[in-house]
């Protein structure tokens, strides 16, 4: 039940909380069209008429100059070197409308027909200093939305009372794929269905009539207040990001306020929850969690969760943030260290899209040492013998730049730390090592180069292509003492950027096996350019593997694929609108350190035989299948009995899956309505990370000692354990071949 909507992609990390003249208006637009044709229509249309007409927003001279400046930088510096012509103007027209009204709830086909006069002249407008068309469209949108909310608030009790939940009707989930509403009657029907779905969701979450009315009244009143506060800067930012987003999803205009937030995040000077957020339609969505951050440690918040309300403290009043700007939501979540923020979130894993849960997180900073690489040793029972496999978990590619510049003897860096961990694991006599890069969103390019040099003697690590086509190579220093034992690299859908460079290099050199799920696919480089008003983050280069293929869009494909709960249709570069494509450059001649590719078929056969009856594997794949069932839905029933049946069936199915797993693990079964036992969360340890297992294990100390004796500990990381088995299979095959 994911809904893909075109969204304002301004990435804000809550980590430690990250002269052009104005020309005359272009002549191809009739002088009277923006003011006469469209504005007069808005004034007379009873659908959008307001008791007190709003003052129309107008672009400022500063915004006009900034738009010209942005266009110039895009044309000169962006990787694609794309020309802003009629084709791009048409795409901008469509993109802007989708950003304003992604669910097609406010504009009718009549509005779109009027706006069509602007389709092929937006490019000329930006060049020549005319932003009037975009502001005209925005003013119409604002008027319609305000009129809709005012009417909805005034009539909310009556509208809710009139809803009939016995009718067999559906709500379209892929709203952006439907045509624009033909007229005001069709718009009204879409609004009715939307209200009905929201009301039904709250009913199914056990809200009574008074609570539903209070919740929705506050929500819509809050939205109305914020819409009325929209100003010319908001209109400008949405329009310009509709333009920059056409070049690629990581190219964004940052207004002065957003730019300041971005700079704060990069300085890592404020406290927060440790999450990367994005705007998706009217919702704030969790893109990923920062490893070792407060949210990651707390354990409940997940990627793709929607934040719908924020409260200060454990019992503070919840502020509904649906429809808020991203920087405003950030402002509520960010705060002083050791204070608590409560998030109300909707989980995309829930069969009821409006059933929320409260998550309390204590704000904190992320200490460098907490994000440092760590090692552990696994005793793996493989082919009737116990084997030792080392594990090095790398949550990010980090370096203390200041310490390095100052010549500190023991400054922190990924490579320096991993070198020490390798020595420690050698003392443990491990047979091989798993490099765990799950959830690693990237980091220092310098570090990924040097880290690769710990596992290969010498050579290029990555190629970087500039807009002019010139390709540069990043290589590591010669290292005759590189680690020579077999390795496997474990990745998942959240492994991105620098993680993909490392995994790709290991795969290309045939230095080890890549295991897990397809990585994120971010293979582009961004730079921040100052503007006279705000700043522009734009993509200036692209990463390529030494084998010639880019990591962009496609990511790294594992040699052995393991199941993942992350929805590849919702998370990953290839899910983003206007993402740059996958392509190739000339490969680099390089040494092959092994012949792992020749082992893949045999390893896959052995892997499948081993996991066929593994309870952790079965538990994981059955959960994935159940989630996929709902992810594929394109319509949602608005019939209460049907929805309750879906929810009940889902609960029964999940309970059956869990109990099958519990029985296989020697645990007592759980009744359908039982409160979650203290070990329930641990059952998902096999689908998260070793760190999650450790966090769950820490809670074990609170359990009754007698209970610990009776129940075997199910806290094993299936993905890590199976990767170790695969590595041991490879080691034994290579020994047999020799």
475: left (phi over 0), alpha (psi -120 to 50) or beta: beta
Q: Rounded to the nearest 5°, which phi and psi values hold at 172?
A: -75, 125
Q: 273, 333 in Cβ contact below 8 A?
A: yes
The 8 Å CB, 24+ separation contacts for 210-215 are 212/160, 213/156, 213/157, 213/160, 215/320
Distance (Å, whole) CA 138 – CA 245: 18
What are the distances in angstroms from CA 302 to CA 306, 490, 688? 9, 20, 11
The four Cα atoms 404, 407, 409, 411 give a dihedral, to 10 degrees, of -20
DSSP string, 97-123: HHHH-TT--S-BHHHHHHHGGGTTTHH
Q: What letters, b where the CB count within 10 A reaches 16 and e where it falls short, cover 671-706? A: eeeeeebebbbbbbbbbbbbbbbebbeeeeeeeeee
At 683, list the tokens: 């059952």
Which spans in 285-346 are helix H?
Answer: 294-298, 326-333
The dihedral built from the CA positions of residue 302, 96, 321 and 191, taken in this order, carries a sign that is: negative
Instruction: Write down how long the chain is.
Output: 738
d(CA 683, CA 690): 13
Taking alpha carbons only, the member of 467, 727, 511, 454 closest to residue 603 is: 727
Report the SS3 class of residue 545: coil
Torsion of CA 212, 213, 218, 219, to 10 degrees: 60
Radius of gyration of the chain (CA): 27
Bridge partners (DSSP) of residue 527 are 538
Which of 276, 320, 381 shows the shortest CA–CA distance to 16?
276
**Coil, helix or strand for 456?**
coil
d(CA 604, CA 128): 60
Distance, CA of 343 to CA of 357 (rounded, Å): 8
As annotated, the active-site residues are 497, 508, 522
Terminal Cα-to-Cα distance of the chain (whole angstroms): 52
Residue 475 is given by DSSP the state E
To the nearest 10°, the Cα dihedral for 376, 379, 383, 384?
Answer: 170
Contacts of 199 (CB under 8 A, 6+ apart): 160, 163, 212, 216
Q: Is the dihedral of CA 169, 175, 177, 180 positive or negative?
A: positive
613 vs 418: CA distance, rounded Å: 35
Taking the mean position of all CA atoms in its chain, how far away is CA 163?
35
Residue 312: which H helix or E strand, with range? strand 306-312
CB 563 within 8 A of CB 617: yes
Q: Cα separation of 503 and 490, whole Å? A: 9
- HSE-up of residue 712 (Cα within 13 Å, Cβ side): 9
Alpha helices in 338-465 (DSSP H): 401-405, 414-427, 445-452
């Amino acid at each position: 039940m994911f809904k893909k909507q075109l969204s304002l992609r301004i990435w804000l990390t809550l980590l430690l909380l990250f002269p052009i003249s104005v020309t005359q208006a272009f002549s191809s637009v009739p002088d009277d069209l923006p003011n006469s044709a469209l504005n007069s229509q808005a004034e007379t249309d009873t659908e959008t008429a307001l008791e007190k007409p709003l003052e129309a927003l107008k672009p400022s001279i500063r915004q006009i100059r900034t738009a010209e400046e942005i266009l110039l930088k895009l044309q000169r510096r962006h990787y694609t070197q794309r020309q802003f012509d009629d084709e791009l103007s048409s795409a901008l027209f469509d993109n802007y409308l989708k950003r304003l009204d992604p669910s097609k709830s406010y504009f009718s086909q009549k509005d779109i027909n009027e706006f069509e006069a602007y389709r092929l002249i937006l490019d000329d407008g930006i060049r020549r200093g005319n932003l009037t068309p975009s502001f005209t469209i925005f003013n119409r949108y604002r008027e319609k939305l305000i009129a809709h909310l005012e009417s909805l608030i005034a009539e909310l009790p009556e509208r809710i009372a009139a809803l009939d939940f016995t009718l067999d009707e559906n709500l379209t989930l892929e709203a952006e794929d439907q045509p624009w509403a033909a007229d005001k009657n069709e718009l009204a029907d879409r609004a009715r269905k939307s209200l009905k779905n929201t009301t039904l969701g709250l009913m199914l979450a056990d809200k009574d009539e008074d609570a539903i009315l209070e919740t929705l009244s506050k929500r819509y009143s809050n939205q109305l207040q914020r819409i009325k506060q929209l100003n010319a800067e908001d209109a400008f930012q949405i329009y310009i990001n509709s333009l920059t987003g056409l070049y690629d999803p990581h190219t964004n205009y940052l207004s002065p306020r957003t730019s300041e937030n971005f700079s704060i995040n990069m300085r890592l000077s404020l406290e927060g929850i440790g999450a990367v957020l994005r705007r998706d339609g009217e919702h704030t969505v969790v893109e990923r969690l920062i490893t070792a951050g407060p949210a990651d440690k707390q354990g409940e918040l997940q990627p793709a969760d929607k934040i719908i309300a924020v409260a200060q403290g454990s019992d503070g009043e919840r502020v509904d943030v649906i429809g808020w700007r991203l920087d405003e939501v950030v402002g509520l979540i960010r705060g002083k260290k050791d204070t608590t923020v409560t998030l109300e979130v909707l989980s995309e894993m829930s069969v009821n899209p409006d059933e929320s849960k409260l998550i309390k997180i204590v704000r904190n900073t992320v200490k460098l040492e907490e994000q440092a690489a760590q090692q552990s040793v696994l005793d793996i029972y493989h082919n009737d013998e116990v084997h030792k496999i080392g594990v090095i978990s790398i949550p990010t590619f980090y370096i203390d730049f200041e310490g390095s510049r100052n010549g500190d003897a023991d400054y922190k860096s990924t490579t320096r730390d991993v070198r020490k961990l390798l020595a420690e694991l050698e003392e443990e006599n491990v047979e091989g090592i798993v490099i765990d890069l799950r959830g690693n969103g990237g980091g220092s390019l310098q570090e990924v180069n040097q880290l690769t040099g710990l596992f290969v003697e010498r050579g290029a690590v990555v190629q970087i292509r500039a807009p002019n086509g010139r390709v540069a190579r990043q290589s590591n220093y010669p290292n005759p003492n590189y680690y020579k034992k077999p390795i496997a690299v474990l990745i998942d859908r959240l492994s991105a950027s620098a993680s993909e460079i490392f995994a790709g290099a290991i795969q290309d050199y045939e230095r080890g096996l890549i295991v897990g799920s397809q990585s994120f696919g971010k293979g582009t480089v961004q730079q921040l350019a100052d503007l006279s008003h705000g700043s522009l983050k734009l993509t200036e280069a692209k990463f390529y593997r030494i084998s010639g293929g880019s990591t962009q869009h496609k990511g790294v494909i594992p040699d052995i694929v393991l199941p993942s709960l992350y929805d590849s249709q919702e998370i990953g570069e290839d899910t983003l609108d206007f993402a740059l494509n996958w392509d190739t450059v000339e490969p680099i001649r390089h040494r092959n350190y092994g012949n792992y590719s020749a082992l893949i078929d045999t390893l896959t056969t052995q892997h499948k035989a081993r996991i066929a009856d593994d309870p952790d594997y079965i538990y994981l794949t059955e959960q994935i299948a159940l989630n996929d069932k709902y992810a594929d839905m394109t319509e949602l029933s608005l019939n209460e009995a049907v929805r309750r049946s879906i929810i009940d069936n889902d609960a029964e199915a999940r309970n059956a899956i869990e109990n099958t797993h519990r029985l296989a693990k020697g645990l007592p079964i759980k009744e359908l309505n039982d409160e979650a036992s203290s070990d329930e969360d641990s059952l998902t340890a096999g689908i998260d990370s070793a760190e999650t297992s450790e966090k769950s294990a820490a809670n074990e100390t609170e359990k009754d000692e007698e209970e610990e004796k009776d129940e075997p500990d199910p806290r094993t990381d299936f993905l890590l354990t199976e990767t170790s088995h695969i590595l041991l299979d490879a080691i034994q095959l290579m020994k047999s071949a020799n």
